[in-house]
Structure 1
Amino acid sequence: MSLILYNPLREMDNFQQQMNQLFEEVFVPTDRHGDRQGFNPKAELTETEEAYVLKLELPGMDPDNLDIQAARDAVTVSGDRQDTHSTEKDGVRRTEFRYGSFRRVIPVPGAIQNTEVKANYDAGILTLTLPKVEEAKNKVVKVQLS
């Protein structure tokens, strides 16, 4: 079992993120299909012993339109979305276009080696593997008793 230091500033940051998400859900207008105008991809951050794994939902995105930047304590993903949807019924063709850019900054709970980040885009899911810096890993060291 390891001890985790309590950081009240991290709690304030979490509260601010929750409030921002609440206001986005309430005040961002939606189109007639219930989709939010604009685009804010959903993200999932998990932690392993060696790295953080960040997954973002980016359906229909062209990987060439993505810009990924990794700092020591955060990852920024931005891009341009150009989505086209076509249907044909009873000889009538209906086409919808959705355009928009997005930018999402995801803070990472610990320091990462930003020069060693690996990215994979498959089936609309962007997966980033963010290796932890050596000193941030929880190493167990044998202590000699004198």
Structure 2
Amino acid sequence: MDVPEPVRRFLEGDRESWLRVEEYRDADSLVVKAQVPGIDPDKDADITLTGNELQITVRHEEKTEHKDKEGYRSEFRHGTFSRTVSLPAAVDPGDVTASYTDGILEIRVPVPEQGPREGRKVLVTRV
């Protein structure tokens, strides 16, 4: 049985190390969005392009304080979250753009138009 990647990671207990992303085509670009509120994109986000793989890594630290009549409580949550997105073709890293608005990291990757792929018969030779 083929288990989807997010389900497999959840079942294996790896819920904190990956980012959820949204991917779609917009004209001649692949758009990848990740919801990462509360980060400083200059310090906390790394985007790397290697061949036809886009690697997104985000470091996040969240501090929550609760004060009540009984005392003081503090919780810290931090970690490094990453996701690799496969691209349909290798892309020039200089053409990739990224922006961060209202907690959403958006990466735009230009994808060259691909014509219809024609099948080609491969001949088998006897040896």
Normalized against structure 1, the TM-score is what?
A: 0.66
Distance 1:89 1:118 in 2: 45
Fraction of identical pairs, as percent? 23
The runs of at least 4 aligned residues of structure 1 exceeding 6 Å deviation read none
Report Cα offsets for 1:104-133 as digits up to 9, x if no partner: 111123443421111111222100011123
2:13 paired residue among 28, 45, 56: 28
Equivalences, count: 113
**2:19 maps to which residue?**
41
1:55 paired residue among 33, 39, 56: 33
- Runs of 5+ unmatched residues, structure 1: 1-14, 30-35, 139-146
Which has the bigger relative contact order, CA under 8 A and spacing at least 6? 2
2:106 is equivalent to residue 127 of structure 1? yes
Distance 2:51 2:93 in 1: 6
Higher strand share: 2
Normalized against structure 2, the TM-score is what?
A: 0.74
Once the two structures are overlaid, the 10-residue window that deviates more, 120-129 or 101-110, is: 101-110
Distance 1:89 1:123 in 2: 30
- Runs of 5+ unmatched residues, structure 2: 116-127
